[in-house]
Chain A
Amino acid sequence: MASTTPIASPPPAPAPPVTRKSTSTGRAGDKVFLGLSRGSGILLLVIMASIAVFLSYRAALAISKDQGNFLTTLDWNPAGNPPVFGIAVLLFGTVVSSIVAMAIAVPIAVGIALFISHYAPRRLAAPLAYVVDLLAAVPSIIYGIWGALFLVPYLEGLNLWLDEFFGWTYIFEKTEIGVARSLFTVGVLLAIMILPIVTSVSREVFLQVPQMNEEAALALGATRWEVIRMSVLPFGRSGVISASMLGLGRALGETMAVATVLSPSFVISLHLLNPGGGTFAQNIAAKFDEANELGRDALIASGLVLFILTLLVNGAARLIIARRKEYSGANA
């Protein structure tokens, strides 16, 4: 993208003083400007590095004092004597609620994206895309209170129903009575939250399908669905995958929506409809107020794990996108 101009590149080291004179202001300005902008880039790298370093440092302080096993202990009591805390419950809850969210959100998001890109009447498509983008901007705390005060009561019936008809699957068996403040509900809420982002990225990809690919299928006498199956979905698959990963990244790190909805407890249970469980972010927000210094370090340690988890997921998403770029570039 950068224009290939020699002006920016540093002059030959022993710059002859004669030519220097006429352009000296330009050269000096260029140097300062380049320095500033490169400095900003480097600053971002430094920040990223220090996030890792600082979190690791405080986490190490905490883990060294942990009398339990940081990875497997089913308890969070850093203020106790001896202090005991572990992330097993949080890891489980984070992963499970995110999986539920993905299982619900991705198929529906693909459906909406297809609806906007290929099914909706044209006059409806543009405003719809706009509304979906706007919904992506709704702050998570608002999803949170909506989820807690509105969605939870509504989901109770569904929970009973799932228990009745799908209880045999074990995961939908509800063994504890109580409101629907369960990992499943959290998953549903997270699904609603990440729908807009997954939809809007998928929609972009579907709209990028070259028209000639779609016409190829049409000209063979394909129905609309066959056009989508033959040319739109194969083209958009990697885009949908990376969109889902971006959504997953959000679901993993979501704090407020989980903190408001879940009634936390330090147990691991595959009965997803039972209230209880916890996630990294939710646990940090919930335990922070009453935490002493070791407690805070312990929370930082759990945050470090969350950080690594999201790094992996986002890194994978970026890799897929990058590979897709190469792929479609080679094809063009």
Chain B
Amino acid sequence: MSHTAIQDRPAPVPPSRKGGLSSRSLPRWAPIGFAIVSIALGVGIGIGAGWESRIQWGLISGLIFVTISYVATSIVENKRQAKDRLATSVVWVCFILAIVPLFSLIWVTVSRGIKVLDTYFLTHSMAGVPGIEPGGGVYHAIIGTLEQVGIATVISVPIGLLTAIYLVEYGKGALAKAVTFFVDVMTGIPSIVAGLFILSIMLIADIQPSGLMGSLALAILMTPVVVRSTEEMLKLVPNELREASLALGVPKYRTITKVVIPTALGGITTGVMLAIARIAGETAPIILLVFGSQLINSNPFEGAQSSLPFYIWDQYKIGSEASYDRAWAAALVLIAFVMILNLVARGIARWKAPKTGR
């Protein structure tokens, strides 16, 4: 809200005060013109020099664009305006430079994933399918992902919720400070380290790989995220509500469960869903702890399982055209799953947002 959209057309300060308030400036369409010219030049140079990769074309175009804008503005207007124009051009180029790969990622995933994605793919496992040949599907991996993520959620949501409640409603003193700090630190643990931690327990206690082990690692990654987001939401609940309830003689725990949590429920749900979306794509712990399988194993407590991200990795490693196709298709399934979770979660957040808002 504190955001000022500064949308003035930058134009010059008169060189002499006597000159009044207006002076020469580039026409409004100038940046677009510069952009067209520099793209043309970039492509021309690229073709002329025989560079294959369009990355260079883009980089050259960007460079030309920034230079033209700066030079033209300093000639027509003045140095301050030129600097301003330079900054504007650089920011635009940054934006385009970054948006291209990010959209290419989505585009490639969708266009290549759609190739073998059909109901057969979604409802069959890889049982009996040689890796380098077409066929097979992702069913076993979907089962694995759902089960592993489900168990991780069941473990981490209560722990995360209670911890957040402790921090917001009760937390004072050294313990709360320590918990806050280590929750922050935990958020930054690489997934592979969480995997190694469970692995070290498995080595000590001689436990075999299973979906459950993967879930434990995922829960370690998920819990701090749940704590953080729940904490934020609980803090948004106005204190007047708590005081009103307490003043009626309602015990504190009932105030929390009947007043505070319901008020924050929308936000908490959003946080949990975003956390699920985050762990659903984790690959490293699954490689270490669940081991992967080509077969359907619906028992997460015993035996190797697959999961979507693991499946993508596995098919990528096989390295044949057919397996790449399967990897992209699975990637599309995974991305769709994650994106839907995200969209729904953000939708809930918007719906349930406190009316005062930000």
Contacts and interface: CB of A to CB of B under 8 A. Distances in A.
Given A51-B193, A142-B335, A158-B55, 19 more contacts: A2-B169, A2-B171, A7-B252, A38-B166, A42-B175, A43-B163, A44-B186, A55-B196, A107-B94, A111-B93, A111-B98, A118-B4, A139-B282, A141-B283, A142-B334, A150-B108, A156-B53, A199-B98, A300-B200
Interface stretch (B22-30, B115-123, B132-140, B323-331): B323-331
Mostly helix, strand, loop or mixed at chain A's interface?
A: helix
Given A2-B170, A30-B253, A246-B188, A224 B53 contact: no
A259 B312 CA distance: 13
Contacts of A130: 346
Interface in A218-242: 218, 221, 223-228
Contacts of A161: 51, 56
Contact of B6 (A134, A156, A192, A227): A227
Interface stretch (A74-82, A84-92, A170-178, A312-320): A312-320
Contacts of A252: 190
B72 interface: no
B188 A30 contact: no
Interface in A11-33: 23, 25-27, 29-30, 32-33
Interface residues of B, number: 117
A154 to B, nearest CB: 5
Interface in B81-128: 81, 83-84, 86-88, 90-95, 97-98, 101-102, 104-106, 108-109
Interface in B1-36: 2-8, 10, 13
Chain B contact residues: over half helix, strand or loop, or mixed?
A: helix
Pairs of residues from A and B, 10 with the lowest C-beta to C-beta distance, nearest first: A139-B281, A253-B190, A111-B94, A157-B53, A26-B251, A314-B188, A33-B253, A37-B166, A225-B87, A40-B162
A154 B316 CA distance: 19
B92 A119 contact: yes
B284 A255 contact: yes
10 contacts: A5-B246, A26-B253, A33-B253, A55-B193, A55-B200, A138-B338, A139-B282, A141-B283, A145-B328, A195-B102
A72 B339 CA distance: 43
Interface of A: 1-3, 5, 7-8, 23, 25-27, 29-30, 32-34, 36-45, 47-48, 50-51, 54-55, 57-58, 107-112, 114-115, 117-122, 125, 130, 133-135, 137-146, 148-151, 154-158, 161, 192, 195-196, 199, 207-211, 214-215, 218, 221, 223-228, 246, 249, 252-256, 259-260, 280-281, 284-285, 288, 293, 296-297, 299-300, 303-304, 306-307, 310-311, 313-315, 317-318
A303 B190 CA distance: 9
A285 B71 CA distance: 51
A228 to B, nearest CB: 7
A58 B168 contact: no
Contacts of A218: 4, 6
Given A195-B102, A253-B193, A115 B95 contact: yes
A119 to B, nearest CB: 5
Given A139-B280, A156-B53, A226 B192 contact: no
A39 B162 contact: yes
Contact of B53 (A26, A38, A111, A154): A154
B3 A141 contact: no
Contact of A224 (B84, B169, B281): B84
B347 to A, nearest CB: 11
Given A2-B170, A41-B163, A141 B190 contact: no
Interface of B: 2-8, 10, 13, 51-56, 59, 80-81, 83-84, 86-88, 90-95, 97-98, 101-102, 104-106, 108-109, 158-160, 162-163, 165-172, 175-176, 178-179, 181-194, 196-197, 199-201, 203-204, 220, 223-224, 227, 234-235, 239, 242-243, 246, 251-254, 256-257, 274, 277-278, 280-284, 287-288, 309, 312-313, 316, 324, 327-328, 331, 334-335, 338-339, 342-343, 346
